[in-house]
Amino acid sequence: MSISIQNISKRFGSFVALDGINLDIPTGELVALLGPSGCGKTTLLRIIAGMETADAGEVLFSGREATHLHARDRNVGFVFQHYALFRHMTVFENVAFGLRVKPRKERPAEAEIKKRVMDLLGLVQLDWLAERYPSQLSGGQRQRIALARALAVEPKVLLLDEPFGALDTKVRKELRRWLRRLHDEMHISSVFVTHDQEEALEVADRVVVMNHGRIEQIGSPDEVYSNPASPFVYQFLGNVNVFHSRVHGAWAEVGRDEAAAGGESGEGGETLAFVRPHEIDIERGPVAGGLEAEVQDVHPIGPVVRVELAHASELIEVELTRERADALGLAKGQHVWLKPRQVKVFAAPEYLLEDGGSGI
């Protein structure tokens, strides 16, 4: 089932949670709503589920008006961050709930319920836990049961609110791969909310980046990462160095030429150049268009080496491969020259001007 969100707005008192959101989710797609806390992503998800009503705008399911449809009639599966399993019911009864509350005419027979529940528990690989209570399960197990419960009513849409937010890193990674597989097997549309960019980029077909109740960018994970539409998206998706034309003249000039060609920056106005730490090369000798900087610190972190450098009291972060770092043999206090491999320039918005040189 496709979901179409048209011009949705929502306020809580004077706080604008959503401001004219438009979004189309085609059937079968797995979409991530990504943004910092308070950006409105959870509110949007709850409006799709019918747990919150929008002040203005419409929600369409398969092209049909669903704005005023009650949550129980929407046929959506909802998965909560803190699982929301029924604590006084066994795992089996939790999963069976959606079947048992159906009107008498539609309710499957007991044998059928048992079979469906055990099939679902098999799908989430937890059929051996059927008689346990939620309190006897680990966090990852609870979330998988919550998923099985949501899937029991055969929803057309699966909505997940920070589904892995309360789990530790290792379990989170396992579960999100598993969610991806599950989504592909079930042929449903899924929307999940997250503030973890890695999670969104890894799992989703499409990423919707939100900020302050608005959509900043919609695109494939690769698009939003390598071609961010706004300074916010650049900074939110991974580490980034921000250079001011005012402070880092030479560099921003290089960037400005490119940007001017692309028509992206204002004429002659102040600009910001965004460069990811791994897109900067370090040279020991002067290079044309290079920025001179002093090495402040060298941290080897797993497979990469993070180098902190200073240029005119501004901090710059560079990530090198171990091999490159070994070849350079950097030492504290050493003067080196930096050259960006890829720069993206934006006209400087007011709110970023105060930040100084580094967005890290």
Partner 1 sequence: MSFRRANAEPRWVRLLLTAVALGFLALFLGLPLLAVFVEALAAGVPAYLAALVEPETRHAVLLSLLIALIVLPFNVLFGVAAAWAIARFDFKGKSLLITLIDLPFAVSPVVAGMLFILLFGARGWFGPWLSEHDFRIIFAVPGMLIATLFITFPFVARELIPLMQTQGKDEEEAAVSLGASGWQMFWRVTLPNIKWGLLYGVILANARALGEFGAVSVVSGHIRGETNTLPLHVEILYNEYNAVGAFAAASVLALLALVTLVAKTIVEWRMHKETQMLEADLPPEKTQ
| Contact residues for partner 1, defined by CB under 8 A | 49-51, 71-74, 76-78, 80, 82, 84-88, 97-98, 101-102, 125, 133, 135, 137-141, 146, 149-150, 152-153, 167-168, 170-171, 174
Q: 25 is written with which tokens?
A: 């989710």
Identify which of residues 114 and 324 has a Cβ nearer to partner 1 in the complex.
Answer: 114
Closer by beta carbon to partner 1, 79 or else 207: 79
Distance (Å) of CA 236 to CA 54, 208, 251 = 27, 12, 22
Backbone angles phi, psi at 27, to 5 degrees: -55, 135
CA dist., res. 352 & res. 242, Å (int): 9
Q: Of 103, 83, 99, give the one whose Cα is nearest residue 145.
A: 83
- Contact criterion met (CB below 8 Å) for 195 and 231: no
Cα 308 from Cα 176, distance rounded (Å): 33
**Would you say 166 or 218 has its CB closer to partner 1?**
166
Q: How far is the CB of 155 from partner 1 (least distance, A)?
A: 9
Give the residue with the Cβ less far from partner 1, 101 or 353.
101
Residues in Cβ contact with 130 at an 8 Å cutoff, skipping those fewer than 6 apart: 90, 91, 92, 117, 118, 121
CB of 51 to partner 1, least distance (A): 6
At its nearest, how many Å lie between partner 1 and the CB of residue 67?
17
Q: Residue 132 CB, nearest distance to partner 1 (Å)? A: 12
Give DSSP secondary structure letters for 159-226: EEESTTTTS-HHHHHHHHHHHHHHHHHHT-EEEEEES-HHHHHHH-SEEEEEETTEEEEEE-HHHHHH
Least distance from C-beta 84 to partner 1, angstroms? 4
Burial class (CB in 10 A: 0-12, 13-18, 19+), 150: buried
Minimum separation from the CB atom of position 114 to partner 1 (A): 18
Contact 276, 316 (CB under 8 A): no
Q: Does residue 81 contact residue 166 with C-beta atoms inside 8 Å? A: yes
Nearer to partner 1, 100 or 332 (CB): 100
**β pairing state of 15-25 and 241-244:** unpaired
Cβ proximity to partner 1: between 12 and 326 the closer is 12
CA atoms within 13 A on the CB side of 98: 22
Q: How far is the CB of 333 from partner 1 (least distance, A)?
A: 45
Distance CA 243, CA 268 (A): 16
Q: Are strands 30-34 and 206-211 parallel, antiparallel or unpaired?
A: parallel
- Least CB distance to partner 1 at residue 97 (A): 6
Rounded to a whole number of angstroms, the minimum distance from the CB of residue 175 to partner 1 is 9
In the bound state with partner 1, the residue whose beta carbon lies nearer, of 80 and 337, is 80
* Residue placing its CB nearer to partner 1 in the complex, 103 or 268: 103
Residue number with CB closer to partner 1 (98 or 231): 98
Q: How many CB atoms lie within 10 A of CB 128?
A: 10
